[in-house]
Homo-oligomer: A and B are copies of this chain.
């Protein structure tokens, strides 16, 4: 139970500890991407990219769907909730997060008013 969650957190934090993997995730915010799309811009060989993807997959941060020979990769942000929860303990220290949520809420309600 708590241990399961914990080791999942391990995987998530570990996945996020490599700049290439973080950047890949960042790219996936806007749209799903093929593996070729994702690997664009890195000097890494294919298998290296593959390994990075597997790391993120076992952390639950991405999901794949094969369509034809193309593997489509989709961000799964759910595990980040765990990070956020863990971080919550520390919010009282850096406490910016509340204000950024605030800003976000304001933006939302503005849009709705149109």
> Is A65 interfacial (CB 8 A cutoff)?
no
* Per-residue B-contact encoding for A50-71, CB less than 8 Å = 1, 0 else: 0000000000000000000000
Question: Could you list 17 A-B pairs, sorted by A, with CB under 8 Å?
Answer: A6-B19, A7-B19, A9-B22, A10-B19, A13-B13, A16-B86, A17-B17, A77-B97, A78-B94, A78-B98, A81-B96, A84-B91, A84-B94, A91-B104, A101-B101, A105-B108, A109-B112
- Interface status of A40 (Cβ within 8 A of chain B): no
A46 to chain B, nearest CB (A): 23
A89 within 8 A of B: yes
Among B29, B90, B104, point to the contact of A77 (Cβ < 8 A). Answer: B90
Please name 11 further chain A to chain B contacts, defined as beta carbons within 8 Å, in addition to the given A11-B17, A29-B90, A105-B105, sorted by A numbering.
A16-B86, A22-B86, A75-B93, A77-B97, A78-B94, A80-B94, A83-B83, A84-B87, A88-B97, A92-B104, A101-B101
Docked pose: A106 CA to B100 CA in angstroms = 16
> Which residue of the partner chain B has the closest CB to A23?
B6
Provide the residues of chain B in CB contact with A92, threshold 8 Å. 104
